[in-house]
Structure 1
C-alpha cells in the first residue's frame, strides 16, 4: 500500500505549482490594491469594493469550472479520455453562458452598490472599475475550467507559469495606466480595470493553447467540433457544479457582506479592510492550492474505489495545510502593522489610522486561519469524492445562519466595529470547518466506495 510519506511527496509535487499559480493570481488583485493605495484612499476603497463585487460573481462561474476537476481526475484514473473531453468541453460551454448572463450586473453595478449603502463617491468609482473589469468575467471563468482540466491531468506547471506571466503583465500595465507613465493617460481605477482585463485574456489564451497543442493532450481534441452540444455531459457538470457554485457564493457572500458593513463605518475602515483582506487572501491561496491538489488526489482514489489511499491522500493534504496555518498565525500576531504598512503611501496623512485599523483586523484574522484552512481543505476532499450538495447546505447554515448575524451583532450592537465584524467571520468559518470535516471522515473516508454520493 502507498505510504503517507509518498502521499506527502505527491501532494507537494502537484500542489506546489497550484499554490504558485494561486499566489500569482492573487498578485493580480494584490497589485491593484497596492498601487491604488499609493494613488489615493478613496480609489483604494473603490477598487477593494469593486474587486470583491467582481469576485462574488466570478465564483458562481468558478463553481462549474471546479466541477470539471474531480470528473476529469476520475475519468483519467480509469483511462477514459473521451469522458475527459466531454466534461471539459461542456464546462467551457457553461462558463460562456454564465458570463453572458453576468455582464449586466457589472454595467449597472453603481446602483447596486448605492443600494447596499455605500458612499456615493466610492460607488461611482467602483462602477467605473467594474464596467471595464466586467468584460474579464468570461476569460476568468474559462481560466478556471482550463486550470481544472490541466490540474486533474497532472499538468499544473503551465498554470503556474501562465499565471506568473499574467501577474507581471498586470503590474506593468497598472504602473503605466493607473499613474500615466510612459506617455499613457493617467486613468486611475479605470487603468487598474484595463490591466486586470488584459491579464485574464493572456492567461486564458496561454492555457487554451497548451491544452490544445501539448503532445500529451492532443488526443483530447477539446476544440474539435466545439459547437456540438453534449447534453448528457453538460447535465453532469451542471449537477456537480451548481452546489459548488452556491457553496462558494455562501462563503464569498459572507466576505462581501462584511465589506459592505465596513463601508458603513466609512472609507478609511473600508480601505483598511481591503488591505487586511488582501493579505489574508495571499496566505489563503496556499490552502486553496493544496485543496485543489487534494481534490485531484482524492478524485483519482475515488475513481478507482481505493479508500485506503483516499484516507492517506486526505491526511497528507491536511498535514501540509496545518504547517502553513502555524506560519501564518505567527506572522499575523507578530508583525501585523508591518504587513499593512506595505500597502499605504508613506506620505499619506491617513497612513497611521489605516495601519492601526488594518493591524487590529489581522490580529483577529490570526484566529480564523485554522478554521478557514479547515473548511477549504474539507471542501476540496469532498469535491474529490463528488459530494457537493450537503456541503452546500452546511455552508449556507454556517456562513449566513451563524457567521453573518454574529458579524453584525458583535460589530454594531456590541460596539466592536471592524474587529467585531471580523470576529463574525471566525464564527462562520469554524462552524463550516467542523461540519464538513466530520462529513468527510465519517462518510467517504470510512465506507466502501460502491458509488459516488449524490
Structure 2
C-alpha cells in the first residue's frame, strides 16, 4: 500500500469514485443536492485543516519580524530606517526564488494526488537544487546592497547602516529557500504540522539571538544591525536542519526517501519549474513594486500621508498572511484534485477555499474597522507630529482600505487555485494591468489631480484590487468549467 493510501484511507480509489459518480447521477435531484452539499462540506473542512497550520506559520513569521524591529527600534530612528531599506533589498533578493519554489508545490501536490511518489520526490529534489543555485546570486546581490541603495538616491549613512544588516542576513539565503522547499513538500503531502512547530519554536529562539547579538550580552560582541542579520541567518539554518530531520527521519516523510539520488539534476522538471514559477516571481515583484510606488506617491503628498498609509499597509499585510495561507492550501487541494482526475473536485475546492477566506476575513475586517482609531494610536504612540491628524487619517485609510483587504483575500485564494492548475502566465498579465495600469494610475489621478490626497490613492488601490480579484475568479471558473466539459467529452 502506498504512502498516500496509508495516511489518507478516506481517499477513494478512482474506480470507486467513478462508481459513486454514476450512482449519484442516476439518483433523484434531492439526493444529488444532498451529495453535493456533503462533498462541499467535506472539502471545506479539508481546506480549513490544511490552511490552519499554514496561517499560524505565516503569523509566526510576522512575529519574528516584529521582534526584530522592536529590538532594532531601541537603537534609534536611524537604525529603524536602515532596517526598512535593508528589508526592501532583501525582499527583492529572495522573491524570485520564492516564485520557483511556489511552482514546485503544484507539481508535488498533483503527483501526490496521482499517487506518484517518484514525482513528489523529484519535485522536492529540484526545489532544493533551486534553493542552492539561486542563493549564490542572491548573496552577491545582498552584499552589494549599499551600492544599490546609493544608486537609488538614498542617504550614504542610511545605506551604510542597511549594509550592516544585509551583510549578516545574506548568508541565510540558502537555508531559507531550502526550508521553503521542505515546507512546500510537507504541505503538498497534507502534512504541514512540522513546519508549524518548527516556526513556533523559532520565534523565541530568534528573539534570544537578536537580543544577545545586537546588544552583546553573555560576553558576546555588540554587533548591532549586523547582529540582527546574523541572528536571522542562524535561525534560518536551524529551521532548515529541523525541517530536514523531520523529512528524513519521521513518518510519513521517511518513506519518500527525499535524499535518494539527490545529486541527479532533473533538467526536464527544472525547465517546467522555470516556465511555471517565473511568472509567479514576476507577479510578486509587481506587488512589491506597487507597494514601493505607493510609498513614493504618499511621500509626495506629505509626511502625514506616508505615515498613515504605512499603518494601513501594515494592517493589510497582517491580514494578507491569513489569506495567503488559505491560498497556499487552495493550491495544494486543487492540485490534489487534478492529480487524481477529480474534475468536479477542482471547482469545489476553489469555491470552498474562497468561502472560507471570505467568512474569516469579513469577521476580521469588522473588528479592524471598529478598532481603527485604537490601531492607529497603537502604531503611532506619541512619536508623530500632529498626532490627532495623522491618527485620524490612518483610521480613515483603514476604513477605505477595507474593500482592498477583502479583494486581496479573494484574489490571493483564486491565485492559489490557479497555481494548482499550473496557470501562472495569464494571472501575471492580470496583475500588471489591474495594479499598474488601473489601480496606481487611478490612485494618482484621484490623489493629485482630484485633490483627494492619500484617500484617493487608497481608492485607486481598492478598485485595482477588486478588478484583479474579479479577473482571477472568472479565470478559475473558466478553466474549471473547461476541464469539466473535457471530462464529460472523454466520458469521465
TM-score relative to the length of structure 1: 0.89
Q: Deviations over 1:204-251 (max 9, x none)?
A: 221122112223222322223322211112122222211221122222
The equivalent of 1:216 in structure 2 is: 252
Alpha carbons 1:305, 1:448 under 8 Å: kept: no
Corresponding position: 1:70 with 2:106: yes
The equivalent of 1:33 in structure 2 is: 69
Alpha carbons 1:375, 1:437 under 8 Å: kept: yes
Corresponding position: 1:87 with 2:123: yes
The equivalent of 2:137 in structure 1 is: 101
CA distance in 1, matches of 2:167, 2:412: 31
Alignment counterpart, residue 12 of structure 1, candidates 43, 48, 57: 48
The equivalent of 2:230 in structure 1 is: 194
Identify if the C-alpha distance between structure 1 residues 228 and 27 changes in structure 2 by more than 3 Å, giving closer, same or farther: same
Alignment counterpart, residue 352 of structure 1, candidates 387, 393, 410: 387
Structure 1 residue 300: deviation in Å?
Answer: 0.8
CA distance in 1, matches of 2:409, 2:356: 11
Identify if the C-alpha distance between structure 1 residues 82 and 139 changes in structure 2 by more than 3 Å, giving closer, same or farther: same
Structure 1 residue 321: deviation in Å?
Answer: 0.5
Identify if the C-alpha distance between structure 1 residues 413 and 136 changes in structure 2 by more than 3 Å, giving closer, same or farther: farther
Aligned residue runs from structure 1 range 160-239, under 5 A: 160-182=196-218, 184-239=220-275
Structure 1 residue 98: deviation in Å?
Answer: 1.6
Structure 1 residue 263: deviation in Å?
Answer: 5.5
CA distance in 2, matches of 1:26, 1:150: 21
CA distance in 2, matches of 1:249, 1:243: 10
The farther-off stretch of 154-163 and 121-130 is 121-130
Corresponding position: 1:290 with 2:305: no
Alpha carbons 1:243, 1:392 under 8 Å: kept: yes
Alignment counterpart, residue 158 of structure 1, candidates 180, 183, 194: 194
Identify if the C-alpha distance between structure 1 residues 111 and 199 changes in structure 2 by more than 3 Å, giving closer, same or farther: same
Corresponding position: 1:148 with 2:170: no
CA distance in 2, matches of 1:40, 1:265: 26
The farther-off stretch of 202-211 and 156-165 is 202-211
Alpha carbons 1:38, 1:343 under 8 Å: kept: no
Q: Deviations over 1:34-72 (max 9, x none)?
A: 443454333223323322332233221111111111111
CA distance in 1, matches of 2:223, 2:174: 23
Structure with the greater alpha carbon radius of gyration: 2
Structure 1 residue 179: deviation in Å?
Answer: 4.5
Unaligned runs of 5+ in 2: 1-34, 488-492
Unaligned runs of 5+ in 1: none
Structure 1 residue 299: deviation in Å?
Answer: 0.6
Alignment counterpart, residue 57 of structure 1, candidates 81, 86, 93: 93
Identify if the C-alpha distance between structure 1 residues 435 and 107 changes in structure 2 by more than 3 Å, giving closer, same or farther: same
Q: Deviations over 1:58-115 (max 9, x none)?
A: 2211111111111111111111111111111112212221221222321222232344
CA distance in 1, matches of 2:73, 2:387: 13
CA distance in 1, matches of 2:273, 2:384: 51
The farther-off stretch of 394-403 and 295-304 is 394-403
Identify if the C-alpha distance between structure 1 residues 227 and 358 changes in structure 2 by more than 3 Å, giving closer, same or farther: farther
Alpha carbons 2:168, 2:228 under 8 Å: kept: no
Q: Deviations over 1:252-309 (max 9, x none)?
A: 2212333444566788766665554333222211111111111111111111222222
Q: Deviations over 1:148-205 (max 9, x none)?
A: 1100101110111111112222222233334455555554433332232222222222
Structure 1 residue 117: deviation in Å?
Answer: 4.1
Structure 1 residue 358: deviation in Å?
Answer: 4.5
CA distance in 2, matches of 1:341, 1:175: 27
Alpha carbons 2:216, 2:223 under 8 Å: kept: yes
Aligned residue runs from structure 1 range 109-124, under 5 A: 109-124=145-160
* SS of residue matched to 1:11: helix
Aligned residues: 450
Alignment counterpart, residue 365 of structure 1, candidates 381, 385, 401: 401
Structure 1 residue 330: deviation in Å?
Answer: 1.9
Q: Deviations over 1:400-419 (max 9, x none)?
A: 22233334444445555544
CA distance in 2, matches of 1:362, 1:206: 39
* SS of residue matched to 1:448: helix
Identify if the C-alpha distance between structure 1 residues 188 and 403 changes in structure 2 by more than 3 Å, giving closer, same or farther: farther
The equivalent of 1:323 in structure 2 is: 359
The equivalent of 1:278 in structure 2 is: 314
Q: Which has the higher contact order (CA 8 A, sep 6+)?
A: 1
* SS of residue matched to 1:443: helix
Aligned residue runs from structure 1 range 360-439, under 5 A: 360-414=396-450, 416-439=452-475
* SS of residue matched to 1:294: helix
